[in-house]
Structure 1
Amino acid sequence: MTNGIYYKKIKPDESLSDFVESFWVLHNDSENDKETVGLPDGRIDLFLIQSDDQPFRIVLLGLGTQYHDEGLIPAKSLRFAVSFKPLAVEYVFHETISDIVDKGKILSDDFWDFNLQDLNNFESFCEKASQKIRSLIPKEIDLRKKKLFDLIYNTHGSITVKDLSEKVGWSSRQINRYFNQQFGISLKSFCNILRFRASLEHIAKGKLFPELNFTDQTHFIKEIKKFSGVVPKELFKNKNDRFILLSSFKTE
C-alpha cells in the first residue's frame, strides 16, 4: 500500500501462460484522485471497475503505443484486471482489436458472466476468469504464431523482424499483415514497446543505461523519452509515484 494505493499481481497457471500475462488488482482507498502517467506495455487489458462516482463497468483496452499523462485513478475506486498477451486476441477474444489502439471500449456489464459481486474477492475473480478463458481457447493454435511470440518475449523485443521471419518460417510481409490486422500496429512497433517495458525493470533498479540492443546511450534516452515523455533519470525519480507501471516493478 502506497499513499492509499494497493496493488497486487498474480501470474496465471501454465495452461494459460501463452495467452495471459497476469491478473492484478488496483485499489485507491484514499479520498483523493491519483494522477498517473500511462505507459505502453504490450498488453491488452480487461478491466472490471467500480468507483463511487461511476457505475460498475467492464472495459477492454487495446495496445498502447504512447504515453498519456491524463490518467486518473479515482478516489475510492477498485479495479480487477486481466492482462492478455497478443495471442489471446485471436484465440480467446476471437476478434481483432485493431480499432482500439491507444484507447478502449466499454463491454456489456455481463461480459463473460462477470458482475459487480466479482469485485468482492480477487482470488475468486482470478479463478473465474481462468476457467472462462480456458473454455474459449481452441484445441489447436498456429504453432508459427506461438513460436513467434515466444521469441519476441524471450528476447524482450530485442530481435529484428528479419531474424524472426527466418526463425519462424513466415515472411516479414505476412507477419506485419497479421500484426496490423489483429492489433493495429506493426511487428517492429510491438517489439520496441516490449524493449521499452523491459528497460523499465532496469530503470526501477537505478540502471540508467542501455542493457538491451539500443545503438548507444543517446538512442536509449531517445526511446525512453518517446514512450514515457521523460528521460531515464526523471523516470527513475518517479515523483509522486506518477508512473504506476514503473512503481509496480519496484514492488515485485
Structure 2
Amino acid sequence: MDLIIESALPDASISHFVHSFWRLENKTGKDIQSTVLPNGMVDLAFINTGSDYWEMTIRGLDTIPSQIIIPAGTKMFSAGFKLLAVEYLFGDSIKDVLNGGKDISNEVWNFETIDFNDFKSFCSKTSEIIKGISNENLDNRKKKLFDLIYTSKGSMTVKQLSENVFWSSRQINRYFNQQFGISLKAYCNILRFGSSFKDISEGKLFPEQNFTDQNHFIKEIKKYSGVTPKELSKNKDNRFMDIAAIKKLNLEND
C-alpha cells in the first residue's frame, strides 16, 4: 500500500499550452496531509474518492503554500497548464480562483470514465482534445511573451519582457491582473520558485535560477513553501507533491 505518483511531459505540439500531466493515487489506507506549492501552473484535475463520480475542477495560481488533505482511496488525474491556455482553452479569467479552485463543466472536454482507466489513456485523451482546438487565432504577441517567460524561467524583468514583445508594462500587468489575479512580476517570482524544484529535489541547495544570493534564495523558498530549502529537499512523508512528482519525472526521462 503506497502513495502512487506518475508524471509525464506533453509532446512538442501542445507544449505552449501544457506543462505536464500527472496521476496520484492514495493507496496507503489513510488520509494524507499535503502541501500545495505555488508552481506557476493552472491545474485541470479529475478527482475520484471511491465512487463512480469523477469531480472536475480547475485550480488557479497559488501564491502561498496551502494545506490539503488527500483522503484514503483518492484517485486523481491532472493536467498542469501554462497561462496561455487560460484564454484559449478555458476562455475565461481565473482570477476568482487564486489560491483555490472550483468545479467546472465537462461539456467542452467530454471525458468519460474509460479515459481514467490508466495514465496513458488520460494523457492521450487530453492531448487529442487540445490538438483539436485551432491555434489560428493565437495572439503572437502573447505567445512570444509567454515563450520568453518560460524559457527564462521567470528571470527576465518586466521591462525586458515589455521591450521584447512591444507591449507596455502597464498593459501587460492589466492583462495579468484581469486574467490571472496577479501582476507579471509576482508571476515571474513564482515561476522562478517553481523552476527551482528540480535542483532542490536533487539536493542542490544553492541558487540556480537568478536569485541574488544564498540569503535571497532561502528567503524566497521559505516565502513560497513555508520551509527551508533543506527541509523541502528532504520532503518527509512526501508532504510536498510537486517535489515527489518531479523526482518521478526525472527518473522517467533519464
Instruction: Quickly name the TM-score band, shorter chain normalised.
Output: over 0.9
| Corresponding residue number in structure 2 for 1:206 | 203
Contact preservation (8 Å) 1:202, 1:208: yes
Note if 1:114 corresponds to 2:111.
Answer: yes
Distance in 2 between residues matched to 1:51 and 1:223, nearest whole Å: 34
- Displacement after TM superposition at 1:229 (Å): 0.3
Note if 1:75 corresponds to 2:94.
Answer: no
- Structure 1 segments unaligned to the other structure (5+ residues): none
Match of 2:54, as an amino acid?
Answer: F
- Which of residues 128, 132, 135 is equivalent to 2:132? 135
| Corresponding residue number in structure 2 for 1:163 | 160
Contact preservation (8 Å) 1:91, 1:137: no
Note if 1:95 corresponds to 2:100.
Answer: no
- Relative distance call for 1:38 and 1:155 in structure 2 (3 A) is same
Note if 1:62 corresponds to 2:50.
Answer: no
| Corresponding residue number in structure 1 for 2:193 | 196
Provide the TM-score with structure 1 as the length reference: 0.93
Point out 4+ residue stretches in structure 1 off by more than 6 angstroms.
Answer: none
- Displacement after TM superposition at 1:6 (Å): 1.2
- Displacement after TM superposition at 1:234 (Å): 1.6
Deviations 1:141-190 (A, max 9, x none): 11111111111111110111011111111110011111111111110111
| Corresponding residue number in structure 2 for 1:19 | 17
Out of 138-147 and 105-114, give the one that drifted further.
105-114
| Corresponding residue number in structure 2 for 1:247 | 244
SS of equivalent residue, structure 2 residue 196: helix
| Aligned pairs, number | 249
SS of equivalent residue, structure 1 residue 112: coil
- Displacement after TM superposition at 1:125 (Å): 2.0
Note if 1:43 corresponds to 2:38.
Answer: no
| Corresponding residue number in structure 1 for 2:222 | 225
- Displacement after TM superposition at 1:228 (Å): 0.2
Match of 2:56, as an amino acid?
Answer: I
- Displacement after TM superposition at 1:111 (Å): 5.3
- Relative distance call for 1:233 and 1:197 in structure 2 (3 A) is same
- Displacement after TM superposition at 1:217 (Å): 1.5
- Relative distance call for 1:162 and 1:84 in structure 2 (3 A) is same
Distance in 2 between residues matched to 1:152 and 1:109, nearest whole Å: 30
Contact preservation (8 Å) 1:224, 1:231: yes
SS of equivalent residue, structure 2 residue 206: coil
| Corresponding residue number in structure 2 for 1:178 | 175
- Which of residues 28, 31, 54 is equivalent to 1:30? 28
Distance in 2 between residues matched to 1:168 and 1:202, nearest whole Å: 30
Contact preservation (8 Å) 1:162, 1:172: yes
